[in-house]
């Protein structure tokens, strides 16, 4: 019986140590992150060094730009969304190649943004002009659809 208690205590101690180490690693990886948060979801931590997820915008920054009547394009995504995981490696380089300053908002880290911006599913790409939503494209799409969206709503100078 005494042996079982010792084994149980060792297992609990090892699990506690493992949890502490993982939390410490996540905290260290989160330092200086673009989300201005101390604790990030592990899926977000995994994307911190991926250039496809650069150019993040915080909800308060997005609100400020919308309230100031700025034109901007925002990609709403979640690191846990399989469609986002498939779309981002196509969409992010396309936006960069076309000269589109596409901001990205991580809905896993900022869950209130779902309701605040009327996002029903991910991925969602939204273009704002003069602080108003002009057009959105929802779901995984072929590259040509994103290219057409950028050409028609973001880059069209004749509007």
pLDDT in tens, 117-151: 999 999 999 999 999 999 999 999 999 999 999 99
Burial class for 22, CB neighbours closer than 10 Å (0-12, 13-18, 19+): exposed
User: How far apart, in whole angstroms, are the C-alpha atoms of residue 73 and residue 146?
Assistant: 12
DSSP 89-119: HHHHHHHHHTT--EEEEETTT-TTHHHHTT-
User: How far apart, in whole angstroms, are the C-alpha atoms of residue 107 and residue 153?
Assistant: 23
pLDDT in tens, 36-77: 787 888 899 889 889 999 999 999 999 999 999 999 999 999
For residue 89, being part of any structural domain is answered with: yes
74 shares a domain with 8 = no
For residue 69, being part of any structural domain is answered with: yes
Please give the tally of structural domains in the chain.
2
Containing domain of residue 129, as a range? 45-154
73 shares a domain with 137 = yes
147 shares a domain with 105 = yes
């Amino acid at each position: 019986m005494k042996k079982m208690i010792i084994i149980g205590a060792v297992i609990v101690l090892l699990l506690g140590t493992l949890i502490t180490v993982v939390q410490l690693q996540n905290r260290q990886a989160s330092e200086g992150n673009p989300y201005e948060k101390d604790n990030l979801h592990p899926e977000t931590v995994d994307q911190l060094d991926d250039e496809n997820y650069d150019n993040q915008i915080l909800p308060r920054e997005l609100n400020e730009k919308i309230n100031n009547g700025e034109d901007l394009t925002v990609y709403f995504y979640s690191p846990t969304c399989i469609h986002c995981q498939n779309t981002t490696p196509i969409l992010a380089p396309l936006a960069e190649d076309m000269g589109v300053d596409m901001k990205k908002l991580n809905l896993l880290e900022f869950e209130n943004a779902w309701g605040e911006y009327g996002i029903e599913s991910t991925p969602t790409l939204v273009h704002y002009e003069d602080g108003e939503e002009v057009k959105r494209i929802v779901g995984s799409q072929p590259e040509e659809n994103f290219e057409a969206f950028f050409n028609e709503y973001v880059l069209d100078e004749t509007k």
